[in-house]
Amino acid sequence: MREYAFELALCAHYEPETDGLLARQLGASCHGSRVMDVVEVEPGPQFDERVSLCPGTIPAPVLESDIGPGTARDPRRALDVHPDRVEGIVDAAVAAGYLERERERRNGRDLVRATGRYPDEWVGSIRGVENKPDLGRPGDLERQLRTDVSLALLDEVVLATASHVTGAHLNRIPEVVGVWRFDPDTGEREVVREPTPLDSGGSGVEPLDEHPGRTEVRVVSAAEKRRARRRLAERAFGKGWRPAPEAWPDCARIEVGERDAVGPLPDCPWKGRIVDPAAECGPACEGFVSGAAPSVDPESARADATAWDPDAGERRRQTGLGRFADTE
């Protein structure tokens, strides 16, 4: 099975087993380019407060500023970013539901304030799952897992595979990495080895470029990791794992998969499997039949399956938008 379909199947079957939120394909590094296939964010003591605040990802520069729900601030002064980035960051934070705009009456400046207080302790533990359906084609698996362990940005790391796992396989990956054997057709998940918790609260070492005979590394402080963990958790919170509607191809053959209760998933009867629309679909495919893509609602499916609320903070956002419009 292709890794994309394996990844969707794993999320679809695993989501009902956890109280946390799942997301796919997120950057899980501080200075490098590591991308984790699946990220699971387990609830912390203030999880419900984060859910009720807003449904989208709050941009990191906003959370790292002193913009709060009190006095409205000038974002050009409050955000520690290049001036050319300010408007885009504010737009993203407003779209996420966290910031609201208002116009200063005296000189007409655009100001922003938060719609509520951000809960710092909403994240419990963070687990990363690296998918490798076929261990006979490991690619950079060992290097990726060594990076995860030495950096310890995540609390736990797991390898998920459809292959039979041998002692030789286990010996080639760090012993603290857990291993799951997952059958994407039946949803059966066997825990071959439990993960060992990593020191996510301390400093870490992040391998960067590799050269013959040496590897460039960077020591990452505990404070840097805290900021990176919050960014990762925020992206996971806002993104989820389901393919967005725009990712579905305009092909009349594509159907909504059988796991629609937790999906929707792009199923292609012509290929006989779940497909990766971005990589496999379109006029170049011999089975392509031009037509409208299926109507899908991944947000509603996510809301039905998890604690995430797509309408959180709606009243506050509408109030803020109305106040901004009235002062034009």
DSSP symbol at 260: T
Strand-pairing partners, residue 26, are: 36
- Residue by residue, DSSP assigns 43-107 as E-TTHHHHHHH-SSPPPHHHHTSS--SSS-B-HHHH--S-HHHHHHHHHHHHHHTSEEEEE-TTT
Helices (H), the chain: 3-14, 47-53, 60-63, 75-78, 83-96, 141-151, 167-171, 222-239, 277-280, 298-305, 314-326
Per-residue pLDDT of the chain in tens (328 residues, 90 and over written 9): 589 999 999 999 999 999 999 999 999 999 999 999 999 999 999 999 999 999 999 999 999 999 999 889 999 999 999 999 999 999 999 999 999 999 876 777 889 999 999 999 999 999 999 999 999 888 789 999 999 999 999 999 999 999 999 999 999 999 999 999 999 988 999 999 999 999 999 999 999 877 777 788 999 999 999 999 999 999 999 999 999 888 888 899 888 876 555 778 888 889 888 888 888 888 899 999 998 888 889 999 999 999 999 999 864 444 444 333 333 3
If we measure between CA atoms, which residue out of 99, 64, 103 comes closest to residue 80? 64
Every domain of the chain and the residues it spans: 3-47+121-239, 59-117+309-326, 245-295
> Is 29 strand, coil or helix?
coil
Measured in residues, the chain has a length of 328
Give the HSE-up count for residue 119: Cα atoms under 13 Å, Cβ half-sphere: 17
Spatial strand order in the sheet of 266-268? 255-256, 266-268, 273-274
Q: How many Cα atoms sit within 13 Å of 52 on the Cβ side?
A: 7
Tell me the pTM: 0.90
CA 204 to chain CA centroid, nearest Å: 22
Determine which helix (DSSP H) or strand (DSSP E) holds 130, and give its type and residue range: strand 123-131
**Separation in Å, CA 137 to CA 124, 132, 140, 141, 163:** 34, 8, 9, 9, 10
